[in-house]
Structure 1
Amino acid sequence: MPGGDPERGWPCWWYLRVDGLAQNERLTLDLAGSNLPARNNGKSTGKPLAAYWAMPERATFSTDGKTWRHTAPGKRDDGRIRYEITGDGGPLWIAWGPPFTPRDTDDLLAFAAKTLPAARPFDLARTREGRPVRGLCVSEATNAAPPGIWIHARQHAWESGSSWVARGLVEWLVSADADAQWLRQHAELFIVPIMDVDNVATGNGGKEANPRDHNRDWDDQPVYPEVAAAQKQLRAFIKAGRCDIFLDLHNPGPGDPTFFYTLDNALLKEPMITQRDRFIQFAYGRISKIKPLIPMSNQPKTTGASYHPLWRNISANWGCMNGNPHTVSLCLETIWNYQNCTTEGYRAVGKNLGLAIADFQRGKLAAK
């Protein structure tokens, strides 16, 4: 069953290494859900997390710790699931989904800086346990105050697919693609691939951590230094009137497609509603056309008072309530429990999210 401390988030993430398998020897991984009481809505439920959160239809495995593939669909029986993998004579890594660790962030930022001089790695903050939270700033704008765009992933540590979406966005953004070049010349972009670095590093789930998780921490007294540091940068954008886009990247429930979470219209004013809806249309137009298919809904869900007791402290909601009148502040949930949700599929979502940002920003500029 998954490890992890329920006080540090949902115990649904798992990741292990197996040594000693012979060439063509078959391994069966027999998995049950955690039996520890989990937290939800800011308090202990007194009962275990539903096992399906820990049981993707297909597990992920690697023979080199770098290239990740899906297993065949697991076989479910009496509340458990069994995955079968064939060894190649060397070590075998098996995980809930493709891992993305702080070392992967370092590698991604080094690649970006080597590829594009205008890509500048930065340290956002040090976590409560002393680990660096790192990100990338990219801009070739000649305007002294270009539109500001902030994108971060992995406020919930178990949602590893969101970091792969961020990787795909970065890889596209620093490329020679004409739309990527245009966006770099007309905006200043900040991307943070992992916000909850401590729980990623320790293998905990992060979501519903005690006293609250990163995506319930966006008030005037954040628990997490990295949230406070992100707020500081966003407030600088807002003060300058240039907070154009704020995106929070996640993975949803096991049966959900890709979709956006939004704040209820009753709590928003124009032009924020119109700008948000335009952006969602651009994103759906790009992501829904990815081949192989990444299922996406064009109907957002809302995160108002009925969603969570700390709904005001959700980052995308904070962006709406504190941003400029034109700010687009959204949470993108990328499907994970699906055959095409591989590292390649996630990276394609990131690339197409970048293209949607360029489409949206170009349209705004043309309207002026």
Structure 2
Amino acid sequence: MAVLILCALAISPRWAFGASTRPAQGAAQEVAAYPSRPIRFIIPAPPGGTTGILGRLVGQRLTDVLNQPVVVDHRGGAGGVVAAEITAKAAPDGYTLLVAYHSHTTNATLNPKVPYRPVDDYRPITQATRAGLVLVVNLQMPVKTVQELIAYGKANPGKLNFSSAGNGSGGHMAGELLKQMTGIQAQHVPYKGTGPSLIDVAGGQIEMSFAGMVPVQPLIRSGRVRALAVTTTERIPSIPDLPTVAESGVPGFEVVGWYGFLAPAGVPQPIVAKLHAEIVKILRDPELTKRLTNDGAEVVASTPDEFEKFLRADVVKWAKVVKASGARLD
């Protein structure tokens, strides 16, 4: 059998070479022509949240640069697990990207059975931004400072609820960290996105929430919620009068949310490189940078390798908080 195979190869070298290179040539041509059809941004939350806003800002500009539509597809649910699974299982061709945020690295600890690995099942493209959260309360709450909130929580055990964009979100982790560091009791109420969460805070159904700057600022400015503090270690330039949680009596408190772009594992390196170059260029555009900074965000625009290292470290960082809180993702 071995002799027959060798003879066949000897007789038809061109045929054999052509058969082995045709798929490779096709793949190379597809990469060179990328993108040749619309790209889909998967958003792990309903409309109205920071991920959706960022996805649209970048997507609109990427459409102009690549001459192909970028479609924003909201897939909220299960704290981001639905969107993450869709992306992980998508074809690795660069036409499906996840606009990920901080819950992506906490979900695996909240539920070890999530159907994907938060780092290894993706090709990191870039960490787009990092941003603090704002602690807000409804107007019926008799508190105007973090210390008054802590005192209220201790004096009224079981009466304090805090909402978030979902299990594992930055708002969820910030609330759990505040509980651990102050000893107050507060029940977490997860929503399917920041928008619905803030609606119920403004409506008085929920006492407090940690929310992203972009979606919460209109409610603060219109007087529909009361802002108490920010979760960064330093005050945010766009709202300098608002103190940090740390300086308000909880030293060492810090929660910084992140947002970034991930592709499915297996996407060819040239496509990753092209997406990275164009998205980073968009993020560093002075007009967009100014808008993001005014919204309390800091542009990161990291390399794929830097983003991967960050993701691995973030998984480890929040695992301790998740385990101590006893929180789980159902």
Identify whether the pair has TM-score above 0.5, normalized to the shorter chain: no
Between structures 1 and 2, the one with greater helix share:
2
Higher relative contact order (CA 8 A, sep 6+): 2
> Which TM-score applies when normalising by structure 1?
0.27
Structure with bigger gyration radius: 2
> Which TM-score applies when normalising by structure 2?
0.30
Between structures 1 and 2, the one with greater strand share:
1
